[in-house]
Structure 1
């Protein structure tokens, strides 16, 4: 049995689908099972961290995202027989990183808790997610202009199913315990080019209009906690004129190359339609 937290999230849902297709029993943890709409073959269980012992009976492996990680949860997993945990961490964890950055603190804490838990751990460290482009969906549904910061900011966004494909291999194959894998998409693309690719997938011409970061607020970043927004904007500013890290890890571990952003845009075209 493999336990998957965040089973209704972008990566977690893709991983559940992959593990079931591979014939693996999956226990999908979600805070709202009634609305999860997960495959019938998955064992869907309410995620109640305050009752962790009920989550892991019969399980040997565990996929975890950092926001869900706590030392008591990991201790309960180990006590119930889990031996290997795969963490969806972050590419911000690297040599020379700003260790005070809130995203670094969250993921570094989760990694440290796993190392201290006695469980074998594997850390997946993706950089930019292609799904971050969903922040523009309301504007694209409403018209052909997208307001955003740093039109020329560069990243190599990774398709969520490529992260799930790596997680599948790490969970099912031997030899990944103790490893940390840096994951990216295959090519650099700017924010403006991402908007153009979404437009092409929709058969429309979309225009990116750059907004002064000083004027960016909750309307552009509704899911970012206010206390994190200023630091996040500084991080985005650093991507202008800076080529992003690009790794071949997805292909090395799965045998298939990472998918480019325009493929992601085609796969998600429906998310941008009114």
Structure 2
């Protein structure tokens, strides 16, 4: 059985590659630049681009199962139709816990989800919560100043270790019993932004300061940095609501990783230790 992974060279994809290889699976990776993919020798590399579905024909041959990274919602239906015509029987889609409420519309997760759900194939949707890996955006400031400036430091999230997401995806790709399921999940802890900064410092063995950034100034800065205003307003609105009324751990979300993988979900402290080198 051959499994095709799209987005295989990214932060998440490499973890899925590792999980599948450890499970003895035959892995094929789609990448724009095979020569610089840097994946293990056991992985079969094919050049292709999800935004240009015709480039996937060779990669789809003799594939039974496929992981679809949600990078090209405009072509998702065509890609999934090609996969079905080529003989793919099972498709797993990466989405997000807030897919139903995000502001991306036709540029977001939902068109990719619908493409799988309407395909006639076995499908599973994987909806992780906030990626702990988003903290790597602040790594330069931590390295140079031991400082994080963010608005809404009292906002609470349940950060999810990318290794747990990779394990969940590998599980539903290889095990039966997940067809037609949507799994929404997150890490095991509800932590404020300031608490997460403290845990990064603990992983470094040094104090990392948290400094509250005025939301108005932060909004202006994010927009200057290239984030769409409607996305910034949506995200800041979520953080503001959480800071005013912090939610406890969503136990339903926290239970999914242990149920699917058979072991406890990784904590944010573990994530910080695993990535300490990025912050040094």
Same fold (TM over 0.5): yes
Instruction: Give the SS at the match of 1:125.
Output: strand
Deviation of 1:220 after TM superposition, in Å, equals 5.5
One of 39, 55, 60 as aligned partner of 1:56? 60
- Residues 182, 104 of structure 1: alpha-carbon distance in 2 compared, 3 angstrom cutoff: farther
Is structure 2 residue 92 aligned with structure 1 residue 86? Answer: yes
Cα distance change of structure 1 residues 5 and 171 upon mapping to structure 2, 3 Å threshold: same
User: Residue 222 of structure 2 contacts residue 232 of structure 2 at CA under 8 Å; is this kept in 1?
Assistant: no
Which residue of structure 1 lines up, in the alignment, with residue 77 of structure 2?
71
Q: d(CA) in 1 for partners of 2:106 and 2:141?
A: 30
- Equivalent position of 1:160 in the other structure: 162
Q: Give the secondary structure class of the aligned counterpart of 1:26.
A: strand
Flag the 1:86–1:223 CA change in 2: closer, same or farther, 3 A. farther
For the Cα contact (< 8 Å) 2:67–2:93, is it kept in 1? yes
Q: State the Cα distance separating 1:181 from its structure 2 match.
A: 0.7
Give the equivalent residue in structure 1 for 2:12: 11
Q: What's the RMSD between the two structures over aligned residues?
A: 2.0
Answer yes or no: is the 8 Å Cα contact 1:159–1:259 preserved in 2: yes
Mapped to 1, the partners of 2:151 and 2:38 lie a distance apart of 34
1:66-92 CA-to-partner distances (Å, cap 9, x unmatched) read 223511111111111101110111111
Per the alignment, in what secondary structure is the counterpart of residue 109 of structure 2?
Answer: helix
Aligned residues: 269
Distance 2:106 2:152 in 1: 22
Unaligned ranges ≥5, structure 1 = none
Deviation at 1:105, TM superposition (A): 6.3
C-alpha change, 1:133 and 1:43, in structure 2 (3 Å) is same
Q: Is the 8 A contact 1:218 1:224 kept in 2?
A: no
Instruction: Specify the alignment match of 2:45 in structure 1.
Output: 44
Q: Secondary structure at the match of 2:118?
A: helix
Shift of 1:226: 4.7
The runs of 5 or more residues in structure 2 that have no matched partner are: none
- 8 Å CA contact 1:148–1:220 kept in 2: the answer is no
User: How many angstroms apart in 1 are the aligned matches of 2:196 and 2:262?
Assistant: 26
1:64-213 matches, cutoff 5 A: 64-69=68-73, 70-93=76-99, 97-98=100-101, 101-102=103-104, 106-213=108-215
CA distance in 1: counterparts of 2:257 and 2:10, whole angstroms: 20
Partner residue of 2:250 out of 227, 237, 245 = 245
User: CA separation in 2, counterparts of 1:225 and 1:36?
Assistant: 30
Aligned-pair distance for 1:218?
7.7
Using the TM superposition, give the Cα deviation of residue 228 of structure 1 relative to its aligned residue in structure 2, in angstroms: 2.0
TM-score (norm 2): 0.90
Does the CA-based 8 Å contact 1:135-1:220 persist in structure 2?
no
From the two aligned structures, give the one with the greater helix fraction. Answer: 2
Alpha-carbon offset, residue 207 of structure 1: 0.8
Matched, 1:263 2:273: no
